[in-house]
Structure 1
Amino acid sequence: MHACRDAAREDGVRVDPELFDTIKWQDRWFKVGQLCAEHQGPAHQPLLDRMPVATPPGMMWLPDRKRSAYVMLGNASSPAAHPLPGVIDNIEQLTASLKSAAPWMQVTTVLDATMQEATSALRSAARQTQDVLIVHVLGHGYLDDQMALRLLTSDSRPDDLATTTLNLTTVIDDVEASSNAAALVLIVDTCFAGQTIPKSSGRLKKHLFVLAATDAHSVAWDGPNSLTGVMASVLGEGVPDCPFPMLSVDLLAQECARVHEQRQIPSQVITTFSHGDAHKITFGLNADGAS
């Protein structure tokens, strides 16, 4: 752990060096792996030079920018529900945070899409992705008679929600069947988001991480206290008192849950599911853990 302490000191991380002697920090450091210079660029070369010393290789999954995709589907308005003005603000803030924390991330934003436009965007990204596919949806969630979670779109009709809403419960199966992506990260910021979490991992072929704003039976918040709002805050500000130079999707989820608890947000418990090595996928630089 001496190399870890030295790397943290060089980064100016505000952490008690004795923490590195505990199992907690040893375990977390070993989840951070070797970085690929081709994805980071010369601006982060000093950080890259330290990483092989501080961590064993192969313990982190940095998405290949040419073979990965991030699709953000946001619906702020629908004829079938009241407007969600926070969706637009959250998308703008998260996009800004991603540009800073993950400049290599290729993000496609689809706002207030029709069901056909949303479906086409997902299918197109699924076909083209070969490494990591990140699907991030935010808006109104609706449970149908079969308890399937559906996203209200800009053309959803109150009298026919069954056929005019996007089925989020089948997104995982659709990607499994139609995409060459090695991994899927599904972020669901809607009411009843936990309904998208698989009941078991037995039939899964791809690495999978699901980050849900709530469990399967609870409503979600709009605005800065929503999952997307908190994600934007965490990526923008970093994880305090943490020596990690990078944030995995797993660590990002843990920090979002901690912030939710700290803010005492009622009726919203962030829920996750991980299969394979998807929890190692890197989401961005830790603004408070590396300089």
Structure 2
Amino acid sequence: MTRIPDKHSSRAVLIGISQYHRDAELAEIAAAERNLNGLLAALTDRGTGTLSPEHTWPLVNPTLDTIGDAIGRASSEASDVLLVYYAGHGLLDDRGRLHLALPTTDPSRIRWTSLPYETLREELANSHATARIILLDCCFSGRAINAMAPQSTVLTGQIDIDGTYVITSTAANQPGYAPPGQTYTAFTDALLTVAADTTRDLTLDDLFTNIDQLLHSRGYPRPQRRAVNTAGLLAIFKSNTSQPNTAHDLPDKQSLPQQRITKAAQQHSNTEANRTRAHAEPTPYEELEPDISTDRDAKAPTTTATEHGSETEPADPSKGIAPPRIGSRRPSRPSRRVLILALAVTVAVTTAVSVSAWGLGHSHSASAIGGSTVPTGATSVGSAQDCSAGYLSQFTLRQKLAQLLTVTVGNSEDALQVVKTEQVGGIFIGGGTDKALLAQHQVDAVQAASRIPLMVAVGEEGGRDSWAKDLIGVAPSARVIAQTMTPDQFYTFSLDRAKKLKALGVTVDLAPDVDVSVQPDDSVIGDRSFSGDPNTVVQYAGAFIRALNDAGVGSVMKHFPGRGSSSGNSQTGAAQAPPLNQMQVTDLVPFRQLVDSGAAVMVGHLDVPGLTSSGIPASISPQVMALLRQGTGYGAAPFTGPILTDDLSELAAGSSPPSVEDAAAEALEAGADDAVASA
């Protein structure tokens, strides 16, 4: 049941860092101070706010001592709600841990000159507040999601701080944005825009869902959240239908990201897979032509500030809250399609190409993969990176674009050549790869050649899909495992193998298979499925995911919305799945139960009556992507992690195939983050 905070027993600390006094590559963020003003006004508004002005303390460019005093006092005084907000630069130390930058932060001495997120976490853990809310608007803020739980339970959602609700502006390995010409940063602007809709009490769950949708529509990274118990039912903004919402109205004109989404829709309006997607109101194509060089694949929005941080000036590419996103998650689609065609030809290593906004190593888009210990697609963060736009000046435009690719390599020579020359985002080690690449640690030299930590992916399920069995030991098929081990035994077994994968240099395993199937062992799914009982699949797949992520290896559930009961072979086109209403009680159960497990999701090539359109398989279907993202259509929480497609070259083997390039573009248009193809 929705409830409103008690003003007298609630406390809030709002921290905004807009200026940095050292010559330490940290650009000023004038919008951070304005964020505090806007959020303070919204939270304490007499009509729609739920907090008391005298108990809500804004701190602009404070010292560490000041922050400690304020949070310590708020933590001890709050018995109902304790809220902490931070806007500024997020930095990672050499172990990948999140630190919140302060005015005197020195990036070369992060641990001693910044606020470690772990310190903030511990302070909140000691509070007697009923609900603890953390709002982080900074680079890499998604690291806080996993930091709120012990490693052994982070992927089961069993957070050790009861009553906590965390919303972060980005994923664990992503920058934040302060767009030029806007009063607030992208995330806080979305927060305040959503808060201005006071036609009803706005719970934390409502707030997150609406912010997620708004940022997604604007082309920005998707936020992340972690909630415990009923914290999401707390309303921090309340209804006030008697007053017009004038404090933060929606803009009359589209923002640049919205315009680019609109243009993409116009450019691809004849693509059947894109006809069902909703876009902003049309904007004439000509209006965008002068600005086409600022496509988000090549340049991210930045902000500069006057001496007092009161005005927004034209962007300086050497400053800003974030580096350009290498492989923007939502670039304009004409550029994306051309990119797929061009780079798939010019960066031809062997067979597999993944047009990826997920597997970008250090700086790819939204992800909960990698558990609490490792950035997605990276063995480690070799050095802390600040959020300045100048970071990417070391890369050519071609190398920035190559970060969209994950390529299959044949041996260390292939891998070293393509990484050193092209700076690709990741490599896939498959059945045709020389095992010496891992067995003899040749991949270490490949990692060293990459200026951004490289994603090293394998597909190690066990059973017949066990390329690494000679290196890490043999694993039975999933079906045999469920018949011979308990989930706890399987976790221990899998953790040992996952640690061995990690030691070999692997960062992502495209497993487990969570399909629910009773089909013969040698069928397409067959013994790759743990069981025909969805609850059994949940238990064993969950154990596998926990083991991978506890070892610091990313995991991927497949094949959404479920291939276990399908007919036909998706390796020669799309397979026929049961109607959606039948899948609700079987195939979709593992995805529903494991949506917050920390694993990414791979979407299969499936025709699903009642869900997909005729001739448009799930892997390139906007309806399927929306079902997964929103969750409401199958009773699940919204999915905020990465979405991958199954091998799109398999679609090209069908009876009326799209080309791999067209299929990849359609998958990305539909909402996938990573379009995978082996040819």
Q: Is the contact between residue 235 and residue 287 of structure 1 (CA under 8 Å) also seen in structure 2?
A: no
Matches within 5 A, 1:202-221: 202=158, 204-221=160-177
Distance apart, 1:203 and its partner CA: 5.4
Matches within 5 A, 1:11-160: 59-78=1-20, 79=22, 80=24, 81-100=26-45, 101-102=48-49, 104-105=51-52, 106-160=55-109
Greater radius of gyration (CA): 2
Q: Give the Cα–Cα distance (whole angstroms) in 2 for the partners of residues 205 and 233 of structure 1.
A: 29
Distance apart, 1:165 and its partner CA: 0.2
More strand by share: 1
Distance apart, 1:287 and its partner CA: 5.5
Distance apart, 1:159 and its partner CA: 3.7
For residue 249 of structure 1, the aligned residue among 198, 204, 209 is: 204
- What secondary structure sits across from 2:236 in the alignment? strand
Tell me, yes or no, if structure 1 residue 186 matches structure 2 residue 134.
yes
Q: Is the contact between residue 115 and residue 154 of structure 1 (CA under 8 Å) also seen in structure 2?
A: no
Distance apart, 1:206 and its partner CA: 2.0
Deviation string 1:220-266 (CA, Å, 9 cap, x unpaired) is: 01253521121122212x07xxxx6200011011111111122222x
For residue 281 of structure 1, the aligned residue among 234, 242, 247 is: 234
- What secondary structure sits across from 1:71 in the alignment? strand
Give the AA of the match of 2:137: D
- What secondary structure sits across from 1:197 in the alignment? helix
Matches within 5 A, 1:1-12: none
Q: How many residues align?
A: 225
Matches within 5 A, 1:259-274: 259-265=214-220, 268-274=221-227
Change (3 A) 1:260 1:288: farther
Deviation string 1:97-149 (CA, Å, 9 cap, x unpaired) is: 23332054442101101122112211111111111101111100001112111
Distance apart, 1:174 and its partner CA: 2.5
Q: Give the Cα–Cα distance (whole angstroms) in 2 for the partners of residues 196 and 143 of structure 1.
A: 11
Range with greater deviation from structure 2 (113-122 or 276-285): 113-122
Q: Give the Cα–Cα distance (whole angstroms) in 2 for the partners of residues 103 and 184 of structure 1.
A: 15
Q: Is the contact between residue 10 and residue 51 of structure 2 (CA under 8 Å) also seen in structure 1?
A: no
Change (3 A) 1:67 1:159: same
Q: Give the Cα–Cα distance (whole angstroms) in 2 for the partners of residues 74 and 119 of structure 1.
A: 14
- What secondary structure sits across from 1:89 in the alignment? helix
Distance apart, 1:63 and its partner CA: 1.1
Q: Is the contact between residue 13 and residue 85 of structure 2 (CA under 8 Å) also seen in structure 1?
A: yes
Identical-residue share of aligned pairs (%): 21
Range with greater deviation from structure 2 (274-283 or 100-109): 100-109
Distance apart, 1:173 and its partner CA: 2.7
Give the AA of the match of 1:166: L
Change (3 A) 1:215 1:203: closer
Give the AA of the match of 2:12: Y
Deviation string 1:76-111 (CA, Å, 9 cap, x unpaired) is: 112231100111122222222233320544421011
Q: Is the contact between residue 77 and residue 83 of structure 1 (CA under 8 Å) also seen in structure 2?
A: yes
Q: Give the Cα–Cα distance (whole angstroms) in 2 for the partners of residues 232 and 214 of structure 1.
A: 17
Give the AA of the match of 1:218: Q
Distance apart, 1:288 and its partner CA: 6.5
Q: Is the contact between residue 248 and residue 281 of structure 1 (CA under 8 Å) also seen in structure 2?
A: yes
In the superposition, the TM-score normalised over structure 2's length comes to 0.32
Q: Give the Cα–Cα distance (whole angstroms) in 2 for the partners of residues 220 and 284 of structure 1.
A: 24
- What secondary structure sits across from 1:91 in the alignment? helix
Q: Give the Cα–Cα distance (whole angstroms) in 2 for the partners of residues 279 and 235 of structure 1.
A: 15
Q: Give the Cα–Cα distance (whole angstroms) in 2 for the partners of residues 262 and 67 of structure 1.
A: 37
Q: Is the contact between residue 119 and residue 166 of structure 1 (CA under 8 Å) also seen in structure 2?
A: no
Q: Give the Cα–Cα distance (whole angstroms) in 2 for the partners of residues 104 and 275 of structure 1.
A: 21
- What secondary structure sits across from 1:232 in the alignment? helix
Q: Give the Cα–Cα distance (whole angstroms) in 2 for the partners of residues 257 and 155 of structure 1.
A: 32
Q: Give the Cα–Cα distance (whole angstroms) in 1 for the partners of residues 96 and 106 of structure 2.
A: 19
Q: Is the contact between residue 141 and residue 192 of structure 1 (CA under 8 Å) also seen in structure 2?
A: yes
Q: Is the contact between residue 115 and residue 156 of structure 1 (CA under 8 Å) also seen in structure 2?
A: no
Deviation string 1:39-95 (CA, Å, 9 cap, x unpaired) is: xxxxxxxxxxxxxxxxxxxx1232111111111011111223110011112222222
CA RMSD of aligned residues (A): 2.1
Change (3 A) 1:124 1:219: same
Give the AA of the match of 1:114: T
Q: Is the contact between residue 91 and residue 228 of structure 1 (CA under 8 Å) also seen in structure 2?
A: no
Which residue is 1:230 aligned to?
Answer: 190
Give the AA of the match of 2:209: Q
Tell me, yes or no, if structure 1 residue 196 matches structure 2 residue 144.
yes
Distance apart, 1:271 and its partner CA: 0.6
Q: Give the Cα–Cα distance (whole angstroms) in 2 for the partners of residues 232 and 289 of structure 1.
A: 19
Q: Is the contact between residue 78 and residue 128 of structure 2 (CA under 8 Å) also seen in structure 1?
A: yes
Return 5+ residue gaps in structure 2 as ranges. 245-679
- What secondary structure sits across from 1:161 in the alignment? helix
Q: Is the contact between residue 3 and residue 234 of structure 2 (CA under 8 Å) also seen in structure 1?
A: yes
Range with greater deviation from structure 2 (278-287 or 135-144): 278-287
Q: Give the Cα–Cα distance (whole angstroms) in 2 for the partners of residues 129 and 86 of structure 1.
A: 29
Give the AA of the match of 1:62: I
In the superposition, the TM-score normalised over structure 1's length comes to 0.71
Change (3 A) 1:197 1:203: closer
Which residue is 1:19 aligned to?
Answer: none
Change (3 A) 1:116 1:187: same
Q: Give the Cα–Cα distance (whole angstroms) in 2 for the partners of residues 173 and 153 of structure 1.
A: 19
